[in-house]
Chain A
Amino acid sequence: MRVLVVDDHPGFRRLAGLLLAAGGYVLAGEAADGGGALAQAALLRPDVVLLDVMLPDLDGFTVAERLATLPARPVVVLVSGRTGTELGRRLDTAPVRGFLPKDQLTLEAFAALTG
């Protein structure tokens, strides 16, 4: 399964990539902002996008909505340093497979959402 990791912290991108690789996923690519994420997704056609909510340009919800319109629509897993409650109602209506607070990002949780 090919995964695109989107986060503005390079440290997080690298470690999340390593973790996913350790779990047998293929790291399709990385993006540091919403615009990059959309371009990479169209180009690389990943199966899953691990998408941070707080991005410097577009927020994760907007990116998810645009990803949902792609011909090869990827599965989207939102992650954030904030909790689900803090993100509020937009989480309920976002076209995503699931949400993981970053401190609960484990291979098991990721597999459970994408499996």
Chain B
Amino acid sequence: MTRPLAAPDQVPPVPVRGVPALLAAVPFAVALDIVLPAVWGARAGWPFVWQTIAFMVIWVAVGWVACRLRPDRRMGRLMILFGILTGLSAIPGFGLRSSGLALTVAGAIGISLAPVEIAFIGHLLLAFPSGKLTGSGSRWAIRVGYGYALVEAGVWLLAFRPHSLSCRPLCAPDLPSVIEDPHIRAVLIGSVTLGWLPLVAWGVVLVVRRYRRAGRRERRVLAVPFGTTGAIAALFVGLLIYTASHRRIEYEVGAIGLESLRAMSLAAVPVSFLIGLLRERLAYARVGDLIRDLGSTTEPASSDITTALAQTLGDPSLVVAFPVDGGHVDSLGLPVTLPLPGDPRIITPVGDPAAPLALFIHDRTLRDEPALLLAAGSAARLALENARLHAQVRAQLDEVRASRARIVAASDETRRRLERDLHDGAQQRLLAVGLALQILRRELPADGTAPQLLKEAETEVVAALGELRDLAAGIHPAVLTDQGLRPALLALAERCPVGVTVNGDDPGRLPGQVETAAYFCASEAITNTVKHARATTIEVTLRRDVGRLFVTVADDGVGGASPDGAGLRGLADRLAAVDGRLTVQSPPGQGTRIRAELPCG
């Protein structure tokens, strides 16, 4: 394998920017989460702090893995950013025991970031696994989501004042109280929380639509993260409704529920995202299986390669097409129509794009996996090369077969026309001459030499007509065209100097090329026998079995005919042109038995 394989995009993947900077920010976020409660004390307790840090680290770790898997994708960066976000937004929940400007700022940032998380989760889901939002619908939804998150953050900053003593579940930053009435505050917080309902519903619709439109291989990647997030989202919606309906007195209960739900989702969702990414990554692992599978058999059947590649690429619709003269064939040598623009399938060439070794015709979503296509193509290259040769040979063989059949058919047709011309032309003229001679003879007096000569001329004409008829029948017997194989063989038997019997049932009318091949086979065998075998009887037997015609010519001659002699070789070739076979038994001294077997539909 010296030639490089062509990937659809030869450009090496460009790593997304900003990942190192984000990673560098992680220690600061962690430090903030530790230093703040360490210095001022946390009413929420250290377990909550460690939990928060753990979630942040999990998301960052998953994001880092995603960046390692696909440095060119934004997914990992999004995940790391989300991790940092969770670490910062949890700070008000620590319940720091003091106040002051620094804590106020930290708390304000935390409270502002908390609503953003909801929109961020939607962003992660809709962009998974590539990290890019596709379609204006999802881009708009995410914009609106972030916008609403900012509105909610504002409302919380203005209206959220926890019980001053317990400071549970969150401690508000020490901000001036704008809204004094606790009722109005509660209504505001409840309403703004309820406002997420239509937005989340919109997100759900987009996510469901995305899943439904995904091909089989894409669904494999989406299933776990979508399923997990979907389950948590359902709980979230339930809790929102609960919070809203009990806003008067128990919004704090709802807030506690939200907090624990957030904790749950923070644990489960990154893991599910990681599973999804790993599943996608599994396809690359299957390339290894592909190499092993293709290597374990010395000559895998061409169709197995397609199956193996379909498995590796996770695309059951995969077709491997090989370029041949004037088109493309599949691994069985059958013609393949390439997908036109607008078809859900697309083409990736394997090998030199100008003269590809093969074409993968595959699901559109595989376009996002040029490296996988490249790897699979490389792994299967040798096998593909073999398969292409097989396919080419098969296609050529089919073409040769077809052209041989066409040549034979054309030659049959020429013979038929020649016979027709002899019959309509020379034969008719000679017949006219014969009749004219006869009339002339009658009009002359019976004595003298002229009538005698005319009589002789008549005899000559009759003899010439006989020879002409034999010649025409040898070229192509009209009786074969008009009445079929058995009558033609009977007519042949009548002309033969050796006694020929025709046995077996009349097979009825068969396709013209089968009748012609069978007739000439029998005729040639009889001619050979007459010439070489010194036989006294020849027996022709016809038998028609399911879809096959058997013509046997047996004689009681000297035997010893060689199947490789020019005569029998020609017969075998003639039969092969109609996919027939010739068997010769000719032990010396025991006669010759020639059997032709022809498919007859």
Question: A interface vs B, CB < 8 Å?
Answer: 9, 11-12, 15-16, 18-19, 22-23, 81-83, 85-89, 102-107
Contact assessment for A82 and B479 in the assembled complex, using a CB-CB cutoff below 8 Å: yes
Q: A81-B428, A83-B491, A89-B487 are in contact. List 9 more A-B contacts (CB 8 A).
A: A9-B432, A15-B435, A15-B436, A81-B427, A85-B494, A86-B478, A86-B482, A88-B479, A106-B438
Closest 9 CB pairs of A and B: A15-B435, A88-B487, A86-B479, A103-B465, A85-B491, A85-B494, A22-B442, A11-B432, A86-B491
- Asked whether, in the complex, the Cβ of B491 is within 8 Å of the Cβ of A107, the reply is no
- A104–B439 Cα distance when bound, in Å, is 14
Residue interface bits B454-489, CB-to-A below 8 A is 1, else 0:
000000011001100100010001110011000100
Residue on A nearest B492 in the bound complex, by CB: A85
**A12–B487 touching, CB < 8 Å:** no
In the complex with contacts A19-B438, A22-B443, A88-B483, A82-B478 CB distance below 8 A: yes
A89 to B428, alpha carbons, bound, how many Å?
24
> Which residues of B have CB within 8 Å of A105?
435
> Does the CB pair B435–A16 fall under 8 Å?
yes
Give CA–CA (A64, B461) in the complex, Å: 29
A92 vs B423: C-alpha distance in the bound complex, in angstroms? Answer: 24
Q: Cβ of B310 < 8 Å from any Cβ of A?
A: no
The answer to whether A102 and B431 touch across the interface, beta carbons within 8 angstroms, is yes
Q: In angstroms, how far is the closest chain B Cβ from the Cβ of A95?
A: 19
Query: Is the Cβ of A19 less than 8 Å from the Cβ of B491?
Result: no
Find the B residue at minimum CB distance from A82.
Answer: B478
A88 to B142, CA, bound (A): 89
| CA gap between A104 and B434 in the complex, in Å | 9
Contact of A103 among B429, B431, B439, B490 (CB under 8 A): B431
A15 & B491 in contact (Cβ 8 Å cutoff): no
Interface residues, chain B, with chain A CB atoms under 8 Å away: 423, 427-432, 434-436, 438-439, 442-443, 461-462, 465-466, 469, 473, 477-479, 482-483, 487, 490-491, 494
B488 to chain A minimum Cβ distance, whole angstroms, is 8
CA distance A21 to B364 in the complex (A): 89
Partner of B439, one of A11, A15, A81, A86: A15
Q: Find A18's partner among B423, B428, B439 (CB 8 Å cutoff).
A: B439
A103 touches B423 (CB 8 A): no
> In the complex, which residue of chain B has the Cβ closest to the Cβ of A106?
B438
- The docked-state distance in angstroms from the alpha carbon of A82 to that of B480 is 12
Q: List 21 A-B contacts (CB under 8 A).
A: A11-B428, A11-B432, A16-B435, A19-B439, A22-B439, A22-B443, A23-B442, A81-B428, A82-B478, A82-B479, A85-B490, A85-B494, A86-B473, A86-B477, A86-B487, A86-B491, A87-B479, A88-B487, A89-B487, A103-B431, A106-B438
Q: Which residues of chain A are within 8 angstroms of B438 by Cβ–Cβ distance?
A: 19, 106-107
- Cα distance A29–B487 in the bound complex, in angstroms: 34
Q: Which of A12, A18, A81 has the most CB of B within 10 A?
A: A81
Assembly CA distance A88 to B423 (angstroms)? 18
Looking across the interface, which residue of chain A has its beta carbon closest to that of B433?
Answer: A15
A58, chain B: closest CB distance, angstroms: 14
Residues of chain A lying within 8 A (CB to CB) of residue B439: 15, 18-19, 22
Chain B residues whose CB sits within 8 angstroms of the CB of A89 once the complex forms: 487
- CA A86 to CA B430, docked complex, whole Å: 19
Q: How far is the CB of B36 from chain A (nearest CB, A)?
A: 111
